[in-house]
């Protein structure tokens, strides 16, 4: 074939595909013709991407459990600090209040510990209280994450003008 005829249709063929007459493609076996298309590619893409999406969803649930456990620990610490710093509060009121809150919340935190620490700042008697709640959150596939939250509250007391 000379250069003048290159790219032109041959007289016996309706069209050409890469200089191969289309009528020759019909002679190929059916399985070989099916290999040339992209049928079924979306199934392969989903087989690859679906496990990734499932893992992202489960990771999101785990992160939500961790933050929920942190929120419960902080709420328990705040309630304990408020109870311990109340005016004329009995000893152990903060520990009892935080423990009661964690018991009401159920299995959000496991193996929890409550530490109540009086804070003295250049004074003979405590001026504030710090409550720390530590525990492990719910997990899936056996994973557990430890969370710890602390609340601080000044101790309430009556003062007069001469005290300040």
Question: Which pair of tokens denotes residue 53?
Answer: 């999406």
Task: Find where tokens 């109870």 sit.
Answer: 83
Q: Check if the beta carbon of residue 41 is closer than 8 Å to that of residue 49.
A: no
Q: What pLDDT, on a 0 to 100 scale, did the predictor assign at position 43?
A: 83
Give the tens place of pLDDT for each residue, 50-84: 999 999 999 999 999 999 999 999 999 999 999 99
Q: What pLDDT, on a 0 to 100 scale, did the predictor assign at position 25?
A: 55
Could you tell me the end-to-end alpha-carbon distance of the chain, in angstroms, rounded to an integer?
Answer: 109
């Amino acid at each position: 074939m000379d250069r003048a005829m290159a790219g032109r249709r041959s007289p016996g063929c309706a069209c050409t595909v890469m200089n191969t007459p289309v009528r020759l493609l019909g002679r190929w076996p059916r399985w070989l013709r099916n290999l040339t298309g992209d049928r079924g590619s979306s199934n392969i893409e989903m087989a690859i991407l679906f496990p990734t999406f499932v893992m992202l969803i489960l990771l999101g649930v785990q992160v939500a459990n961790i933050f929920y456990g942190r929120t419960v620990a902080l709420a328990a610490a705040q309630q304990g600090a408020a109870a311990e710093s109340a005016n004329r509060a009995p000893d152990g009121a903060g520990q009892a209040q935080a423990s009661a809150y964690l018991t009401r919340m159920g299995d959000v935190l496991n193996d929890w510990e409550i530490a109540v620490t009086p804070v003295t700042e250049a004074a003979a008697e405590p001026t504030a209280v710090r409550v720390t709640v530590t525990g492990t959150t719910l997990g899936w596939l056996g994973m557990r994450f430890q969370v710890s939250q602390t609340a601080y509250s000044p101790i309430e007391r009556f003062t007069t003008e001469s005290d300040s």
